[in-house]
Chains A and B, each alone.
Chain A
Amino acid sequence: MSSGPVLYDVPGPDEKRRERRVSWVVGALLVVVLVVLGWRLASNGVFDDRWRILVEAPPNFAGYQVQDIWSAVFRGLLNTLLAAVISLPLAMILAILLVSLRSAPWRGLRWLASAVIEIFRALPVVLVMLFGILVLPGASPLVAVVFGLVVYNAAVFAEILRAGISALPAGQTEAAYSLGMRSGLIYRTIQLPQSVRMMLPSLIAQGVVLIKDSSLGYIVGYAELLRQISRVADALTNADYLLPLLAVGAAVFVTLNVLLSRLAVWVQRHGRLQRRGARVARTATLVEE
């Protein structure tokens, strides 16, 4: 339903005027709400000097430079992303292992793999991280964070891949069998690669979730973005500075994830076009023969 409005008529001149009027009223209402909110915030000093923290350190803290603030924030961001970057490939590898076990020829293994997937999909990531930090011997906070992210996301990735495999046209597998391929070979060379490709948009979307979840490290004491921000605010003994610092952090997260989501949409569209192109090419050769 994306092409043109279907829920309402293409507006005629009267309707257009009415629409414009309503739009203006709604817009004006929004502006009023924003102004009231802004006024309320301003009376609490939200727009006063606390934003200066982003350009200069407060004068009464000798030796505290604005560079220290920015480097603390960016170290936090880097730590967050580090956890995500380590976890992503590990989760993918584990997911491929799990989904392969799930279609293994031994029933016990299949059952075990689906139990593991089911259980870890249903657990909160922070609980798994807590488990990591308390139970894994000598685990640093980073290891615990990676552990939680990998275990949970591997289960989700495995589910996505399984959905991809079961959505493949049956003809793919049948054709491979008719060529005399064994089931293991079919799985490795026919089913899994096509599933990864077909599910790439979902996989990227889950990657965004993984990046967001890496900020849960805050809860298990990993020195990520939020932890660093509250450290800066603690060092300056002023909670007012949390707002501007958090605004910077949130902006970075949103930008990164919006870009990744766009990538997912692009991959989806691109993949579809490519497949259509392939089909056209095949028909052409058929006609020639």
Chain B
Amino acid sequence: MGSLLASRAAVWDAFTTTLFLAVTAGVLALLVGTLLAAMRVSPYAPLRTVATVYTEFLRNTPLTIVFFFFVFVTPSMGFTFAYKVAAVIALTCYTSAFVAEAVRSGINSVAVGQAEAARSLGMSFGQNLAIVVLPQAFRTAIPPLISVLIALVKNTSVAGAFSVLELFALSKRLTNAHSSDVIAILVGIALCYLVICIPLGRLAAALERKAAFAR
């Protein structure tokens, strides 16, 4: 335990890096994912195809491969990113596919009459989606979206293996330096993740119950 307390400044730094990755990638993924979901239900076939291929591909690829691509492979293609930037890009690409699926299932759960009524009022596709359907879709999509964000927080740990010094990378470094204190260090780092993830999970469960009552 002592070695963890001794390096608490480093732990705090790593904790904020984890949070930074999660928040930045989370916000970007929410935006990109919503856009993808809108593309998937749009009347324009090319947009639908692009969005479908993107989500299917990234949902079924391991995150490690996405990271590997943006960290090691793109430099050989003429694009080089700083490690942190590469991490944010990889996490955003990966997470946005899951966001898109969650939002799309939310869209599917909106009662058909809502969209029909909006159409009968003469609303265009864009108005229909932005004013009527998406606001309701987000309400049902919030619990699954929170699950996606929890997964994102945990996935930031993969960045630790690709040269970003966040909690997981720090745990590797500390356990290397203090091999007698391994269990305490790992438990301490695990607590840092639990502090983020468990409240989020509780929030999702509470919101789910609330939504279930509302319906």
Measured CB to CB, the residues of A under 8 A from B are 1-2, 5-9, 11, 19, 22-23, 26-27, 30, 40-41, 43-44, 46, 118-119, 121-127, 130-131, 134-135, 208, 212-216, 218-219, 226, 230, 239-240, 242-243, 246, 249-250, 253-254, 257-258, 261
Contacts and interface: CB of A to CB of B under 8 A. Distances in A.
A246 to B, nearest CB: 6
B160 A126 contact: yes
Interface of B: 41, 43-47, 50, 56-57, 59-65, 68-69, 72-73, 75-78, 107-108, 110, 112, 115-116, 119, 124-125, 128-129, 133, 150, 154-158, 160-161, 168, 171-172, 175, 182-183, 186, 189-190, 193-194, 197-198, 201
B189 to A, nearest CB: 7
Given A5-B43, A7-B125, A8-B43, 8 more contacts: A7-B133, A122-B197, A126-B158, A135-B186, A212-B61, A249-B65, A250-B69, A253-B60
A112 B56 CA distance: 38
Contacts of A214: 62
Contacts of A261: 60
A246 B69 contact: yes
Nearest to A30: B46
15 contacts: A6-B112, A6-B115, A7-B128, A23-B45, A26-B44, A46-B77, A46-B78, A119-B198, A123-B190, A130-B175, A135-B186, A215-B62, A215-B64, A254-B60, A258-B56
Contacts of A127: 157, 168, 171, 186, 189-190, 193
B78 A43 contact: yes
A125 B157 CA distance: 9
Closest 8 CB pairs of A and B: A44-B78, A122-B197, A257-B60, A124-B157, A215-B62, A219-B161, A124-B154, A212-B62
Contacts of B50: 30
Contacts of B108: 1-2
A240 B76 contact: yes
Contacts of A44: 77-78
B76 A230 contact: no
Contacts of B193: 122-124, 127
A127 B189 CA distance: 9
Given A26-B47, A261-B60, A40 B171 contact: no
A119 B197 CA distance: 9
B83 to A, nearest CB: 15
A33 to B, nearest CB: 10
Contacts of B68: 218, 226, 242, 246
B44 A130 contact: no
B62 A213 contact: yes
A239 B161 contact: no
Given A23-B46, A123-B154, A261-B60, A250 B65 contact: yes
B60 A7 contact: no
A242 B194 contact: no
Contact of B57 (A40, A135, A243, A254): A254
A253 to B, nearest CB: 6
A19 B43 CA distance: 7
Nearest to A4: B112
A226 B63 CA distance: 12
B61 A41 contact: no
B168 A126 contact: yes
B194 A119 contact: yes
A212 B108 CA distance: 27
A80 B50 CA distance: 29
B64 A226 contact: yes
A6 B73 contact: no
Contacts of A26: 44, 46-47
Nearest to B124: A8
Contacts of A226: 64-65, 68
B194 A1 contact: no
A250 B70 CA distance: 14
Given A7-B125, A131-B186, A246 B115 contact: no
Contacts of A27: 46
Contacts of A43: 78
B44 A19 contact: yes
Contacts of A40: 78
Contacts of B65: 215, 226, 246, 249-250, 253
